[in-house]
Amino acid sequence: MQILKKINFRDYIVYISFAVVFLAFSILAYDKGFLKPSNLMNILRQTSMISVAAVGMTFAISAGLIDLSTGGVTAMSALTAALVLKHMDNIFLAVIAALAVGFISGMLNGLVIAKVRIPAFLVTLGTSAIFTGIARVMTNLEAVPISNNTFNNIFGSGDLGPISSLFIWTIVVTVMGHILYKKTSFGRAVLAVGGNEPAARYSGIKTQRIKMWAMVICALCAAFAGILYAGRTHGARYTLGETDSMNIIAAVVIGGTSFSGGKGTIIGAIIGSWVIGMLNNGLLLMGLSVSEQMIARGIVIIIAVSLSLREAKND
Amino acid sequence: MLNNQPYALEIVDVRKSFFQNPVLLGVSFGLRRGEILGLLGANGAGKSTLMKIVNGVYKMDSGSIRINGQEVRIRDSADARGNGIAMVYQEFSLIPTMTVVQNLFLAREHKKMGLIDEKKCRQEALEIFEKLGIQIDPDAVVGDLSIGNQQLVEIAKAMMQDPSVLILDEPTASLTHAEIALLFDFVDRLRKSGIAIILITHHMQEIMDVCDRAVILREGKVEMDAQVKDVTIRDMVEAMVGRSVSAEKLPPAQPINYQEAPLLQVCGLSCLPKVQDVSFQVYPREVVGIAGLLGSGRTELLKTIYGLLHADGGNVQLDGTILPARRDPAWSIDHGICFVPENRRTHGIVPIHSVCRNMLLSVWKHYRKGGLLDDRKATADTTDMIEKLAVRCTGPEQLLQNLSGGNQQKVVFGKSIFTNPRVLLLDDPTVGIDVDAKNQVAAVIRGIADEGSAVVLVSSEIEYLEKVCDRVLILRDGRIAKELRSGVDDLSETAIIDAMQS
């Protein structure tokens, strides 16, 4: 009975956080139109980049790693897509090139972590600066507009009936991530490496290879977020995704993924990203200044994260 | 009946040296199908080296290993597995955050169209559990299971590779009595299925209870290889210890006065479930040893006295004054109780700090001069202590990580002495240090006692207790089972081990 309670509380805290934040803004920002369907869809749209990246980050954190370089990857990917579209006007190539940027970045992170055995935190702290630097020189800080409306519609601005294409992509990535995480032996291996690395090795798992692929998936998702940014803003700038890293990590942890690895959920991470999205939106509607928003958001994140991390302390 | 069975595993004249230091000097024995063999030996007898060779972790210098009559080469753990050898370690093989089924099939999941076929995995897990007679919820998270059930899951995981030889490394070390009974019941059923089992343990009673044969290693050789029904525990103890010399005693400088008031008095102390109603006294200048197997509650007892664990009942008195129940280590240190933990590396030292910084860790507040630290005094005092304990180092500034294990341990002692302890609690202080260093540490312990302190010494090295202690308490299942007094009772290693086992 007691065990049941403990598990329930830990696994559902993200839904409780979601409900509390939702209810709070439903009351506090009701007259500002928080509950209007258009506003709710707007939240989903604005949050989708964080949601998509959070799917990848769940893999990294579950394997006992972290990726601080997602912002740079997102910017590089968006700029790559924009440049390919500008020069070749080929949507397929643009997407492939942007994802390739993510793949290579993730591979770089993963190889250094696996081969040189440096903690992921430090590796990605370094590559974060490198990637951001590369994004800045790619166009000499210039923004690149995208005039291909098909691309813009598919990857951001378009709708399918009342539903934004961004939301549809979020769902697609979530479902794919969830299956990979929960239903494949790769997903199991990621959790095993994060849960107890020596035991995973004893059980015949190539732990360093798993870590590398976890970083690749994380960067691929960040790159896809870059494609969505490009589609949504009809262009790319080196600043895209710049401030997202912390929101992505917060979403994953609020979602119930253990910060030390070994346990987590993709669905939780998505709900977590919506909690962050509602906060951004609701605080803005309430008329708080940007500085006030930052402070309020920080406080709420700390509360939500501390609730999620209250794992069996008595052990 | 067993003699007709072919050998599942034969170890023939296996030798191994590390650098110049021979560890195995030609070990040979065989293991038949359907047999449970108890493998015994004191620390350093070569047990774990031998098992690591069988598992492909180490390479032997010479000798051979045969499986079902065929000579095999085992280069790594995959080879060992391929040859039907499965080892259940004391740790390191389950992922605590994953469920039982997920653990059983880790890296070997059944798949359907690339995705894990959870139904089939679960079904097969249930079948295996049914076959082995295990009653554990396959969907439970491993970290939530009792240690005993985790052990069973681990064995089930090893059994999934259908091994012909199963090696269990001290499987009972952290189990309760009921769990041990369950485990042995289970092992017995495995034996009947024709598998050969090696059981490594320190508990001789377990060997008497479940094993067919006992092999005892001492100093790299097989000292005994006998049918269990033909020997007694006493025989095994003697084979393990050797009849040779008894340790040289290190007596107190002046006789202990047992008429005097005791310095430390432990009254009915309990910290459930590991410590149960323990009472004893330690007199000034006395060294009291505590002998008990791993899991007997010896570490918990010291921690409860020190205040790292809070007692459920009873009390501790220092000089006749009852200590507060909710004291913490800082309080204990201030009142002259000092604890040297079992694991030097994780709890005792800061390896990247200097000798000086480590020794003065507990007492920096006495080294302030005008709000700043008085480095000159610190260095001078450390230098004195280095001399007093004969620590081999280049000086107070050398980093601890560059010292040998024995010298690191002396630094830990130095740290304790700086707090002017009246009661010194030592948890297995000689783990991983060489013979010379052990003798020096013994002299340091005696020296501290001779200055009027009371020392409580837990050690897994029985000859060490024989050497240093004035009294030895035998701890079993959290209770004091027996008391042996120097000069009254036989305090030899053989007598102590005998008392521990009976």
> Which one of A1, A9, A10, A185 makes the best mutation probe of the B interface by having the most chain B beta carbons within 10 Å?
A185
Let me know if residue A94 belongs to a domain: yes
- Structural domain boundaries of chain B? 2-241, 264-348+421-501
pLDDT of A297 > 80? The answer is yes
pLDDT score recorded for residue B405: 78
- Look over chain B and give the mean of its residue pLDDT values, rounded to a whole number: 86
pLDDT score recorded for residue B56: 86
**Nearest CB partner across the interface for A195, out of B77, B97, B111:** B97
Print the SS3 string covering B72-86.
ECCCCHHHHHHCCEE
A142 beta partners: none
pLDDT of A268 > 90? The answer is yes
With an 8 Å Cβ cutoff, is B108 touching chain A? yes
Mean local confidence (pLDDT), B23-28: 91
With an 8 Å Cβ cutoff, is A191 touching chain B? yes
pLDDT digits 0-9 by tens, A172-220: 999 999 999 998 989 999 999 998 888 888 777 889 999 999 999 999 9
ipTM exceeds 0.85: no
> B257 or A133: which carries more pLDDT confidence?
A133
Task: Name the pLDDT band for A5 (thresholds 50, 70, 90).
Answer: very low
Homologous superfamily in CATH for domain B264-348+421-501: P-loop containing nucleotide triphosphate hydrolases (3.40.50.300)
pLDDT digits 0-9 by tens, A211-221: 999 999 999 99
CATH number at residue A133: 1.10.3470
**Nearest CB partner across the interface for A183, out of B96, B115, B141:** B115
Could you tell me the residue range of the domain that residue A33 belongs to? 13-308
pLDDT score recorded for residue A208: 94
Mean local confidence (pLDDT), A93-120: 96
Most confident region among A27-36, A86-95, B142-151 by mean pLDDT: A86-95
Are the C-beta atoms of B465 and B376 separated by less than 8 Å? no
Residues of A in contact with B107 (CB under 8 A): 185, 188-189, 192, 200, 203-205
Mean local confidence (pLDDT), B6-16: 91
Residues of A in contact with B52 (CB under 8 A): none
Give SS3 for B145.
coil
What's the CA gap between A96 and A103, in Å, rounded?
10
Let me know if residue A314 belongs to a domain: no
Q: Nearest residue of B to residue A192 by CA position?
A: B95
Residues of A in contact with B141 (CB under 8 A): 7
What is the residue type of A64?
Answer: G
Task: Name the pLDDT band for A2 (thresholds 50, 70, 90).
Answer: very low
> B325 or A270: which carries more pLDDT confidence?
A270
Let me know if residue A55 belongs to a domain: yes
Mean local confidence (pLDDT), A144-155: 94
Let me know if residue A2 belongs to a domain: no
State whether B78 and A204 contact (CB < 8 Å). yes
pLDDT of B225 > 60? The answer is yes
With an 8 Å Cβ cutoff, is A92 touching chain B? no
State whether A199 and B92 contact (CB < 8 Å). yes
Burial B123-135 (b: 16+ CB within 10 A, else e): ebbeebbeeeebe
- Look over chain A and give the mean of its residue pLDDT values, rounded to a whole number: 91
Give SS3 for A166.
helix
pLDDT of A290 > 50? The answer is yes
Task: Name the pLDDT band for A8 (thresholds 50, 70, 90).
Answer: low
**Nearest CB partner across the interface for A199, out of B78, B94, B141:** B94
B241 beta partners: none
Let me know if residue A7 belongs to a domain: no
With an 8 Å Cβ cutoff, is A141 touching chain B? no
How many domains does the structure of chain A reveal? Answer: 1
What is the residue type of A165?
Answer: S
Are the C-beta atoms of A86 and A234 separated by less than 8 Å? no
A191 beta partners: none
pLDDT of B178 > 90? The answer is no
Residues of A in contact with B106 (CB under 8 A): 188-189, 192, 200, 203, 205
What is the residue type of B442?
Answer: A
Residue B424 sits at φ, ψ, to 5 deg, of -115, 120
pLDDT of B186 > 50? The answer is yes
pLDDT digits 0-9 by tens, B400-434: 888 887 788 888 888 888 888 899 999 988 876 77
pLDDT of A48 > 50? The answer is yes
Residues of B in contact with A179 (CB under 8 A): 115
Task: Name the pLDDT band for A311 (thresholds 50, 70, 90).
Answer: low
pLDDT digits 0-9 by tens, B55-80: 888 889 999 999 988 899 988 878 88
- Sort strands B471-476 and A235-236 into parallel, antiparallel or unpaired: unpaired
State whether B107 and A189 contact (CB < 8 Å). yes
Q: Where are the alpha helices (DSSP H) in B95-202?
A: 100-104, 118-132, 147-159, 177-192
pLDDT score recorded for residue B21: 78
Are the C-beta atoms of B154 and B93 separated by less than 8 Å? yes
State whether B89 and A202 contact (CB < 8 Å). yes
pLDDT of A315 > 70? The answer is no
Task: Name the pLDDT band for B247 (thresholds 50, 70, 90).
Answer: low
State whether A183 and B98 contact (CB < 8 Å). no
Are the C-beta atoms of B445 and B451 separated by less than 8 Å? no
pLDDT of A9 > 70? The answer is no
**Nearest CB partner across the interface for B95, out of A184, A196, A204:** A196
pLDDT score recorded for residue A314: 35
In percent, how much of chain A has pLDDT > 90? Answer: 74
With an 8 Å Cβ cutoff, is A210 touching chain B? no
pLDDT of B2 > 60? The answer is no
Break chain B down into helix, strand, coil percent, rounded to 5: 35, 25, 35
Q: Nearest residue of B to residue A311 by CA position?
A: B97
Let me know if residue A209 belongs to a domain: yes
With an 8 Å Cβ cutoff, is B113 touching chain A? no
State whether A205 and B115 contact (CB < 8 Å). no
pLDDT digits 0-9 by tens, B431-472: 767 777 778 888 889 988 998 999 999 988 888 888 899 999
With an 8 Å Cβ cutoff, is A1 touching chain B? no
Confirm whether pTM is higher than 0.80.
Answer: no
pLDDT of B294 > 60? The answer is yes
Q: Nearest-CA distance from A221 to chain B in Å? A: 21
pLDDT of B41 > 90? The answer is no
> A64 or B444: which carries more pLDDT confidence?
A64
> A91 or B495: which carries more pLDDT confidence?
A91
Residues of B in contact with A209 (CB under 8 A): none
Residues of B in contact with A196 (CB under 8 A): 92, 94-97
pLDDT of B245 > 60? The answer is no
Task: Return the CATH fold of B2-241.
Answer: Rossmann fold (3.40.50)
pLDDT of A4 > 70? The answer is no
Mean local confidence (pLDDT), B296-315: 91
> A26 or B203: which carries more pLDDT confidence?
A26
What's the CA gap between B99 and A7, in Å, rounded?
13
State whether A191 and B98 contact (CB < 8 Å). yes
pLDDT score recorded for residue A271: 96
Mean local confidence (pLDDT), A260-282: 93
B454 beta partners: B423
Are the C-beta atoms of B487 and B285 separated by less than 8 Å? no
Let me know if residue A313 belongs to a domain: no
Mean local confidence (pLDDT), B5-24: 86
Let me know if residue A4 belongs to a domain: no
pLDDT score recorded for residue B139: 93
